[in-house]
Amino acid sequence: MYKKLFEKGHIGSLTLKNRVVMTAMTTGYAGLDGAPTEQLCQYYEDRAKGGVGLIVTEIFRVNQEHGVAFPRQMYALNPMNVQPLAQMAERVHQYGTKIFAQIHHGGSTNSPEMNGGNLVAPSAVPNVSGIMPTPLTIEQIEELKAQFIGTAAAVKAAGFDGVEIHGAHGYLLCEFLSAAFNKRTDQYGGSIENRCRLITEIIQGIKAVCGRDFPVAVRFSCDEHDPFHPDSITLAEGVEFAKLFEAAGADMIDVSNGNYFCPYGENEEPYSYAEGWRAPETRAIKEAVSIPVAGVSNIKTPAVAERLLAEGVCDFVGVGRAHIADPEWCRKAAMDRNDKIHHCIGCLYCFESLMSVGYVRCSVNPKAGREAALHAEPARDGMGRKIAVVGGGVAGMQAAAELGRRGFDVTLYEKAKTLGGELNLAAATAPYKEKVGWLTTTLQAEMEEAGVCVKTGTAATPELIAELAPEAVFLASGGKPIIPPLPGIDRENVVLAADVIADRKSVSGNVLIVGAGLTGLETAEKLFRTGSADRVTVIDMLPKIGANMYPSIFIDVTHQMEGKPLTLLAGRQLKEITGAGATVLNIEEQKEETLAADYIILAMGTKADTETISAYEKAFGRVITLGQTHKNPGRIATSLAEAYIAARGFDPLV
């Protein structure tokens, strides 16, 4: 079906088995010494085994003094690292996949704490945090060129197939390209040719040292999308940059855009960004050069990748986070099994986990970040033993599919007529959230393949389950909404966010939403989108609205409501529901306030359903409770991972 996707491609003298490039993404899996760990090697090996044509690794730092972007960042200029890098390349090569190293310097985007307080850039222009970097001297530029070239030589010695120079996203080389950040008056500033000079000299240097047949790709921002700096890179300049890179000897252009000043998450592409949105820019670059062009464009599905290739937008498709979500993306596409792909849903949990715990995990792929630990296949020891799974949400479906694969006789009970649980609610908040619903389709396909018996429209009870005589019950029936015991909470104009999202309850007029997490804010967005409310006020006890949300997701959802009659009030505790609205406590000022409202929507989260858990534990010897006992009940990432690990490790004999 995907003819163009699986055609051979060429980058210089290098032949790729298909047109899919796994683009560079920082994982945090490398060692503190810059060498690949077993976890990182297994991560790349799994994607190679999954069929991708080319892997561009995460960033290699080229400078230890002022070029450190992350603590666990690849580094090739230590001779001790060449052998482990060679072993990593061999593990990728065994599947016919090629591997490039992306070479990088963060410039003023680096953290001062990791670089001895020493941030460098082309010129003294404040970074996104307001920190002023030190302009590089000519001597330092010469040293950096040698380090970029030396890194390329080191990875070539380790058996890598090529390198990609990172000149995008506001990092050092992008800063040289951008007149907004490059105010130099020497040979590296001013004209387009001068601003490109550092990259073109690195290309030429790599070719001189590594040979003409060693491919060099350049990734750059063809448009910075930066409204705060009038002199930032425009597409017209990006076209000229690409021509100069080709003339210098580059073998491929990898087109991206944006920098750290982008206001709406252009670099991270949260939920609302459509697949293929960058295509016009990529096409403009392709039309300007004769060398191959790779394009990233928030590609999540094989159909969009195929379309971009068929329309001549690019020669190779950059498929990044989709490969975190499913290492077998290519293989499943080749089998024409789109329904079995764990699609990236744009939730940015990969970014969030990288920032919070230092390494990447994924909402829809519980093995991401655990590839080494979970490499061995689980025991196929089910032997037809009966297992009951209660609940057809994400945790129940994941557990049922994994238990079925292990050979258990699994029956899943779901009280609703359709599967999905809270996934259906998340998908219903906005048209672009339909991506969340993809996971329901995938888990249904996996359960079907695993032979799970699914009974929808069936409200499970301990008595009903007892008729099955299961050896264990996996209880994934979900938690209970938090409804505080406050005066007036039982008024008819008090409704739950889930009921509003699912269109079971309607509201109008002036609406107050209690709870400013993702559910509360997305409920507000839906009210404005459907015209159900004249005005919306969202309150939260925490001192900051969206305090527990990843910043780009918070920006994305609130951006959808710009210009709407929306009021966000942090540090407010609900005290009472009255006939005119609600009384809240201003926590900082310790005084009560009255908020007028026609309807009050509760979006305060969920808690464990202890009564249901207790009833099942009394009735059955083995009950495994999923999705509501951890600190993030109802969250896709934690529920899916908990279910996968519990089902994978379940021992029927103990």
- State the Cα–Cα distance between residues 492 and 512, nearest whole angstrom: 14
Angstrom distance (rounded) from CA 310 to CA 317: 11
Please state, in angstroms and rounded to a whole number, the distance separating the CA atoms of residues 294 and 317.
6
Distance of CA 23 to the CA centre of its chain: 13
Q: What residues contact residue 389 under an 8 Å CB cut-off, 6+ apart?
A: 396, 399, 400, 403, 410, 411, 412, 413, 452, 473, 474, 476
- DSSP letters, 427-452, are HTSSGGGHHHHHHHHHHHHHHHHTT-
How many C-beta atoms lie closer than 10 Å to residue 244's C-beta? 19
Nearest CA-CA partner of 413 in 460, 448, 361: 460
Q: What is the pLDDT of residues 377-411, one digit of tens each?
A: 998 999 999 999 999 999 999 999 999 999 999 99
Residue with tokens 């297992």: 387
Confidence of residue 635 (pLDDT cuts 50, 70, 90): confident
Exposed e or buried b for every residue in 543-572, given b needs 16+ CB within 10 A? Answer: eebbeebbebbbbbbbebbeeeebebbbbb
pLDDT in tens, 138-194: 999 999 999 999 999 999 999 999 999 999 999 999 999 999 999 999 999 999 999
> What pLDDT was estimated at residue 280?
98
Phi, psi of 166 (to 5 degrees): -90, 105
Nearest by Cα to 400 from 437, 453, 457 = 453
Instruction: List C-alpha distances in Å: 598 to 487, 491, 529, 535.
Output: 16, 11, 19, 10
Mean pLDDT of the region 538-566: 96
- How confident is the model over 121-128, as a mean pLDDT? 97
The whole-number average pLDDT for the span 304-320 is 98
Q: Reduce the DSSP state of residue 398 to 3 states and report it.
A: helix
Give which of 632, 605, 631 is closest to 513, Cα–Cα.
605
Is the pLDDT at 131 greater than 80? The verdict is yes
Q: What is the length of the chain?
A: 654
Catalytically active residues are 171
| Residue of 534, 531, 610 whose CA lies nearest to 566 | 534
- Confidence class of residue 630 from pLDDT cuts 50, 70 and 90? low
CA 314, 205, 102, 41 torsion: positive or negative?
positive
| Domains defined along the chain, listed by start | 4-357 (3.20.20.70), 386-479+608-649 (3.40.50.720), 494-606 (3.50.50.60)
Output the six-digit token pair for 436. 């969340």
Query: Which residue in 149, 269, 147 sits closest to 205, CA to CA?
Result: 149
Residues 615-628 pLDDT 10s: 999 999 999 999 87
pTM of the model: 0.96
What is the C-alpha separation between 538 and 534, in angstroms, rounded?
Answer: 14
What torsion do the CA atoms of 34, 35, 39, 44 make, to the nearest 10 degrees? 100
Is 632 a residue whose pLDDT tops 90? no
With bands split at pLDDT 50, 70 and 90, how would you rate the model's confidence at 1? confident
- CA distances in angstroms from 194 to 177, 190, 229, listed in the order given: 9, 6, 20
What pLDDT does 129 receive? 94
Instruction: Give residue 214's pLDDT.
Output: 98
